[in-house]
Structure 1
Amino acid sequence: MAFSRNRPSPIWHWQSVLLGGLSLSIGWGIRGNFGHEYGAAFAGCLAAIVIALVSGRSDWQQRVLYFAFFGAIGWGFGASVSYMQVIAYTMSGQSATQLYGYAALFYIGFLWAGLGGAGTTLAAVAERERLVKLFKPILFVFGIWFLQDLIEDPIAHALQSGIKLDHTASRHKSPLYWFDADYLAASTALLAMGVYDLLDQKSRQAVWLPAFAAAGASVGWLIQYLLHTLGLDQPLAALLTYPLGDPTYINPETGKLAFDPHNFLNNWPQWFGDYPTHIGWVVGLIIGLIAYFVRFGKFRNGASLIVYMASGWLLAFLALPVFGSLFFADYGGLRMTPPRSDDWAGITGVFIGMISWMRRHQLRPVAVASVISGTIGGLGFSGIQWVKHLLMAPGSPRILAGRGVSPDSPEFKTTVANWADWQQQNWHSFLEQSYGFVNGIAIVVALGFLATRIPLHKDHMPNKPAQGKWTLGVATVFVLLAIPYVNLIKNVEEWGKQLNPEVWTRTITQADGTQEIVPALWDVPYLGRLPGVDFLHMTPGAWFTLTWLLLLCLFIILIRRHSREPIALIPAYWLGKGQLIFLILLWLMIVGNFERALVNWHPDRILTEWGVTLNAILATLLVLTVPTEKAPILIQIPASYDPVYKQAWIRALLAMTVSVLFFWQTNRLIYHYPPHEKLDNSIHFRFGPEADWRARPNLKNAQHK
């Protein structure tokens, strides 16, 4: 079945396509400043709102908050994958590394847009009842992740007292460190689903849980005891362990071994080395708990989706960098960007788990849209990096050197000087915003394809009260408060670094006599200045959080009031509500992003801050003028999505193969790189004698790369 349209949906209008691209481009430009999952969630949220509004489908417009909620979650996943080193690979000049770099960028872009597309499409395809049921399991996950943030550091410090840990240069010293990956988040998500399942079932079978756990722990302890008694524990450990580095690497400057082999990290959690006698019973305990839920777990109301995705994360992580790398240790292992994070493996498992669940639960349109958006996202990430490199060609010292022009010649010096300002532009921001625009196009194409193939939902039946109205309130708080908060709270730290240190910071003396700079304490007005009162104060971050908690209280009051009697300010129709939500979220983040950049302003920031503001002005115009409340659309439901699904995968593989080869070859033709032995060793390489995993490994007693 070809990807043809039955009748042009409003999504295919050029203004709608432009708005979809702009929304994710704006979000991606801002995401580059805030980073990681929270920033990507904001970008995906904006684009999802736009898709619902411009669809011309009243049922999708009524679901605009669900689009925003699930779209944000879907786009957040891919942001955990490390990619800066992959970008550097494409510019390394080493042929194999460049080919690998373009392929890896396509793969990362595919995963990112594939999961983002799945989240957005789920809101468009699934029955409302299924969407409503998903909220409780998701809130359980959010809750346990909040608890994880509170207790992870205290647990790490308790297990490794006396060693200074942090979340930056010393994070690998934590006993919970494992490939710099988010395995704890995946594990606690499974734990949350276990707790949810126990509360949901309220079954007498729960009495078996302690028995399974105790049996598993006992068997695990016994196995480790027997292995130790028979002298097999050390050989087994050696068989299943490899160093995250090359013990034979020779320092080219000294001609001697560069690293002490005992200083390498390995492929197991740090606590395995710190507490080896506890491995058996802990692993056995975990297996016992898993066995219980395999036997008795129901995971209803969509909880099974989270189980599929979290289990997929852990299984892929174990299969690729942990165990799979044992067979490829001489090549740096099955690791995408050693020595950086291996979250790419976990996210691969999340994608596989998601696709498997969608196909099993009759949601194949979601799987189709995921592959379509993933393909375009992959082309966007690798393709925009290729375009960026082409635009940087004029005046490039590397091209001049490749043509044989001596760096000491007048031609070389004049050309480089003339193009110096061009070369020093904020090219990474160009990559971020342009790639974001392509991701927006990916969502437009994927949802545009389904807009005329998905039957209209009848979410609101006459004389029948809508179920799950509370989920709309949750989604509202998530979109308008939670997403801005988790991003903008990072501004406080930036202000503390750049503004008056006497106001924003203080110096404290630790027990060992060392001094540490920490956030200042600001007194509560009036009460905090009373004689003898020296405890009514908070850090700047705490004041910021308190303000948002007060806003949360306001939102709860207003949402409850609006559910009883509509507030006049809120539009009566969902199109207007969606436009209002989009504009509040958009401009709140535009202003917050500018506040972040203002304290350390440089003219180079114009490309980002002025660029996203200009795009936001255009997006505001488009979102208020392009969407219509209802458009005539001819719905033609395919007999089966299987042919489309297979064709989507074939096109994805062809797109990756052709585009990666094209980008790789044209880049090398334009840049005329020198021979391998003359390349700059300071550049990132994936292969060869100076590969990063060989020359720049993470070491126990050094800062994390």
Structure 2
Amino acid sequence: MSSNSNAPQWRFSTIFLGALALAVGWGIRGNFGHEYGAGYAGCLSVIAVCLLSGRPDWRRRVVYFAAFGALGWGFGGSISYMQVIAYTHSGHFATQIYGFLGLYFIGFLWAAMGTAGAGFAAVADRDRLTEIFKPLLFIFGVWLFFPWMEAFFENALATAASAAADQTWNRHKSPLYWMDADYHKALTALLGLALFDLWDRRSKDSIFLPVFAAAGALGGWLFQKGLQVAGLEQGFASALTYPLGDPHAINPDTGQAFSAENLLNNWPQWFGDFPDHIGWVLGLFFGIVLYFVFFGRFRSSASLFVYMACGWLISFLVFPVFLGLLFTDYGGLRLTPPRSDDWSGILGVFVGMSIWTYRNGLKPVTLASVVGGFIGGAGFSGIAWLKLMMVAPGNSHIYQSMAEDGALSTDAAQAIITKWSHWQGQNWHSFLEQSYGFVNGLAVVVALGLLASRVKIHEDEKPTRRWTEAAAAFIVLIVMTYVNIVKNLDVWVSQLNPANWQRKITLPNGDTETAQALWDVPFIGRLPGVEWMHLTPTGWFNLTYFLIAAAFIYLCHRHLKNRIPVLPSTPLGKGQLLFLMVLWTWVVANWERAMPGMDGSRLLTEWTIFVNAIICTVMVLVCPKESDAPSVNEVEEFAPLYRRAWIVGLVGMAISVTLFFSITRAVYGDYFAGHAGEQRRFGEQAEWRIHPILKNRLHR
């Protein structure tokens, strides 16, 4: 097995560009946030490493690397982590070690799914790689219409429950709210997969679906009625329910104990709004599930998504919902109470993905996932520690506390604080984001580097299902750009000239609120008698993007028939063009977002991103060579490497977390470090105790 340092995947250019590309993306991701931002960031590094690997088969698949890399890196974006960073700054012994472990755990899941997506593109044969687009498009189709589905059910249920919910600060009043988690994405993914399976099989067995559904609903209704008749319903419900807060804790805002009735619990909000309907609704769901257990086939690798979606739901139910009952004195088995518990769902996605790939002859994907995961975990925990070390000089919290303790005079403390004030005022969170992104890029480099020399080259593959290449490009260049850049509209509307971007509207109750302005259609928008030819800024943006998408689809259709000359003829050239399009679309969109509120403090983010993007541009055009040739020594059995990765990773985690925690305690002691919220996971001042989410207050 070659370990030659001159192998393309281990050259300095590969390592540096792979890491720097993700650092650029991750710095921008911090401005856009969540799954979409993380996905866009991850695909940059995956494209770079694919091109620099020297493997001709990977370069032919570069658009698949981009799409699956983006999808994989997107999963971790749903996990709440800012509170965990704050734990490492807290100065509280138990909370700090929990914080470093929590960041390692989150970083592991994030990078594990990201490198798994890239690994799937690297390892799967062409047939499997392309057939999976069919169920994937069904999932996307359901997700496309989900906002309207969600609004319909929310409005209907909220009206019946007399609740006033929204998608932001009153979202916990929605009947569909459940521990602030994105469980609906897993459920709707299963809905898409169910529709795909019914379409794919076109079997007469489909007539049994309503039978199973009705039988399940009837069984659930009878079960609940039986509990009611026996007088056991209340006790049964109480045994499975715990409050998301401490009813004995004192509310710092009122000086009184929290009301137990005002606390949320570990079940969906509609359970409390419509308790008499729980039995038949759950029975209906399990009846449908049972039908697909008996008759479902989930071909075209759709079973991968079934494993992942079911893993999300099962893990969520097991950890925060049920096992949380055993840890009520600690706020439940929750990572960041009172924040979202999506971590448990992503843990289930990782487990489901690992089981499926291991069982389906894709053990190299599982290996890449674990290797990348441990590097990502070390990166998140380690960069948070590095940030703490960087902000120690002149830290006002340290020196003010020392002065209060009598260890230092007030004048001496103030002199030190003043001397370091400029240093302390830097954008340290951006430093963390970009540095952590750099380490995540190293995770991609190492994970794919291990596969580059161990997985056989895919030779003489027939170009089956060429439409999937267009679909993958559409995901990366149209879908991923839209879902991110559309967020800029909120920034522009709120920060640019309100006379041009905003208007006041009067509500039915007489109140007024601010809404987006209406911009007329040029020339004809205000002709005599014309009062309706206008759109909001977001409406114009959506219309424009629809035209871009339509043109893109048409051009892809033409290109698949006859190559459009402007597009490169070589896989390497196509990959370089793809990288540059993703990179600079992302960089310019971020600049547009930052411009309305730009000041000198943003240079560490926006200027650094521009400079690094220039470096990435030069490197991606110069470093990959058509003559690159990797040395491949195919490995038949990956199980030993997989076990070794777990052992080395766990030992490394134990050592590194111990070092991060110990050095932080040695530098800060019990002092709060600042540069984050002062939050604790344990003790009387734990965040979940003193700031729970209350039914009659805005969400946090």
TM range (shorter): over 0.9
Measure the CA separation in 1 of the matches of 2:217 and 2:319.
26
Number of paired residues? 696
Using a 3 Å threshold, how does the CA distance of structure 1 residues 8 and 358 change in structure 2: closer, same or farther? farther
Using a 3 Å threshold, how does the CA distance of structure 1 residues 270 and 393 change in structure 2: closer, same or farther? same
Matched, 1:503 2:500: yes
> How much has 1:163 moved relative to structure 2?
3.7
Deviations, residues 332-369 of structure 1 (Å, cap 9, x unaligned): 11000000000000000000000000001000000000
The corresponding residue for 1:295 is: 294
Using a 3 Å threshold, how does the CA distance of structure 1 residues 138 and 329 change in structure 2: closer, same or farther? same
State the one-letter code of the partner of 1:703: L
Measure the CA separation in 2 of the matches of 1:21 and 1:312.
30
Pick from 479, 483, 488 the counterpart of residue 482 of structure 1: 479
Measure the CA separation in 1 of the matches of 2:509 and 2:235.
40
Q: What secondary structure does 1:192 align onto? A: helix
The corresponding residue for 1:39 is: 37
The corresponding residue for 2:15 is: 17
The corresponding residue for 1:389 is: 388
The corresponding residue for 2:115 is: 117
Alignment of structure 1 residues 242-257 onto 2, 5 Å: 242-251=242-251, 257=256
Alignment of structure 1 residues 83-94 onto 2, 5 Å: 83-94=81-92
Alignment of structure 1 residues 45-84 onto 2, 5 Å: 45-84=43-82
The corresponding residue for 1:437 is: 438
State the one-letter code of the partner of 2:693: N
Q: What secondary structure does 1:527 align onto? A: coil
Gaps (5+ residues) in structure 2? none
Q: What secondary structure does 1:132 align onto? A: helix
Given that 2:397 and 2:674 are in contact with CA atoms closer than 8 Å, whether structure 1 keeps it comes out as: no
TM-score (norm 1): 0.96
> How much has 1:527 moved relative to structure 2?
2.0
Pick from 592, 597, 606 the counterpart of residue 600 of structure 1: 597
State the one-letter code of the partner of 1:141: I
Q: Which stretch has the larger CA shift, 282-291 or 639-648?
A: 639-648
> How much has 1:548 moved relative to structure 2?
0.9
State the one-letter code of the partner of 1:157: N
Given that 2:246 and 2:689 are in contact with CA atoms closer than 8 Å, whether structure 1 keeps it comes out as: yes
The corresponding residue for 1:351 is: 350
> How much has 1:4 moved relative to structure 2?
7.3
> How much has 1:668 moved relative to structure 2?
0.6
Given that 1:399 and 1:672 are in contact with CA atoms closer than 8 Å, whether structure 2 keeps it comes out as: no
The corresponding residue for 2:275 is: 276
Q: What secondary structure does 2:132 align onto? A: helix
State the one-letter code of the partner of 1:240: L
Gaps (5+ residues) in structure 1? none
The corresponding residue for 2:28 is: 30
The corresponding residue for 1:167 is: 167
The corresponding residue for 1:373 is: 372
The corresponding residue for 1:687 is: 682
> How much has 1:636 moved relative to structure 2?
1.1
Measure the CA separation in 1 of the matches of 2:175 and 2:325.
22
State the one-letter code of the partner of 1:207: I
Measure the CA separation in 2 of the matches of 1:38 and 1:189.
17
Matched, 1:450 2:447: no
The corresponding residue for 1:665 is: 662
Given that 1:405 and 1:411 are in contact with CA atoms closer than 8 Å, whether structure 2 keeps it comes out as: no
The corresponding residue for 1:525 is: 522
Given that 1:113 and 1:373 are in contact with CA atoms closer than 8 Å, whether structure 2 keeps it comes out as: yes
Given that 1:426 and 1:607 are in contact with CA atoms closer than 8 Å, whether structure 2 keeps it comes out as: yes
Measure the CA separation in 2 of the matches of 1:514 and 1:268.
34
Given that 2:8 and 2:629 are in contact with CA atoms closer than 8 Å, whether structure 1 keeps it comes out as: no
Matched, 1:336 2:331: no
Alignment of structure 1 residues 304-323 onto 2, 5 Å: 304-323=303-322
Deviations, residues 589-619 of structure 1 (Å, cap 9, x unaligned): 1111101000111211111100110000000
State the one-letter code of the partner of 2:22: L
> How much has 1:212 moved relative to structure 2?
0.2
Measure the CA separation in 1 of the matches of 2:3 and 2:373.
20
Using a 3 Å threshold, how does the CA distance of structure 1 residues 643 and 696 change in structure 2: closer, same or farther? same
Q: What secondary structure does 1:121 align onto? A: helix
Given that 1:520 and 1:540 are in contact with CA atoms closer than 8 Å, whether structure 2 keeps it comes out as: yes
Alignment of structure 1 residues 418-437 onto 2, 5 Å: 418-437=419-438
Given that 2:2 and 2:633 are in contact with CA atoms closer than 8 Å, whether structure 1 keeps it comes out as: no
Pick from 689, 692, 704 the counterpart of residue 699 of structure 2: 704
Using a 3 Å threshold, how does the CA distance of structure 1 residues 185 and 535 change in structure 2: closer, same or farther? same
Measure the CA separation in 1 of the matches of 2:378 and 2:2.
20
Measure the CA separation in 2 of the matches of 1:681 and 1:482.
33
Measure the CA separation in 2 of the matches of 1:459 and 1:684.
57
Measure the CA separation in 1 of the matches of 2:36 and 2:560.
29
The corresponding residue for 2:217 is: 217
Q: What secondary structure does 1:467 align onto? A: coil
Pick from 544, 552, 564 the counterpart of residue 541 of structure 2: 544
> How much has 1:82 moved relative to structure 2?
0.1
Measure the CA separation in 2 of the matches of 1:624 and 1:289.
52
State the one-letter code of the partner of 2:596: V
Given that 1:41 and 1:71 are in contact with CA atoms closer than 8 Å, whether structure 2 keeps it comes out as: yes
Q: What secondary structure does 2:89 align onto? A: coil
> How much has 1:514 moved relative to structure 2?
2.1
Using a 3 Å threshold, how does the CA distance of structure 1 residues 406 and 153 change in structure 2: closer, same or farther? farther
Pick from 569, 575, 581 the counterpart of residue 584 of structure 1: 581
Q: What secondary structure does 2:597 align onto? A: coil
Using a 3 Å threshold, how does the CA distance of structure 1 residues 252 and 36 change in structure 2: closer, same or farther? closer
The corresponding residue for 1:180 is: 180
> How much has 1:228 moved relative to structure 2?
1.1
The corresponding residue for 2:511 is: 514
Given that 2:93 and 2:670 are in contact with CA atoms closer than 8 Å, whether structure 1 keeps it comes out as: no
Measure the CA separation in 2 of the matches of 1:165 and 1:502.
29
Measure the CA separation in 1 of the matches of 2:691 and 2:190.
34
Given that 1:7 and 1:634 are in contact with CA atoms closer than 8 Å, whether structure 2 keeps it comes out as: no
Q: What secondary structure does 2:515 align onto? A: strand
Pick from 634, 646, 653 the counterpart of residue 637 of structure 1: 634
Measure the CA separation in 2 of the matches of 1:26 and 1:41.
13
> How much has 1:478 moved relative to structure 2?
1.4
Q: Which stretch has the larger CA shift, 394-403 or 120-129?
A: 394-403
The corresponding residue for 1:362 is: 361
Using a 3 Å threshold, how does the CA distance of structure 1 residues 150 and 408 change in structure 2: closer, same or farther? farther
Deviations, residues 90-115 of structure 1 (Å, cap 9, x unaligned): 00000000000000000000000000
The corresponding residue for 1:195 is: 195
TM-score (norm 2): 0.97
> How much has 1:521 moved relative to structure 2?
1.4
State the one-letter code of the partner of 2:691: R
Pick from 127, 132, 137 the counterpart of residue 139 of structure 1: 137
Measure the CA separation in 1 of the matches of 2:36 and 2:676.
35
Given that 1:94 and 1:679 are in contact with CA atoms closer than 8 Å, whether structure 2 keeps it comes out as: no
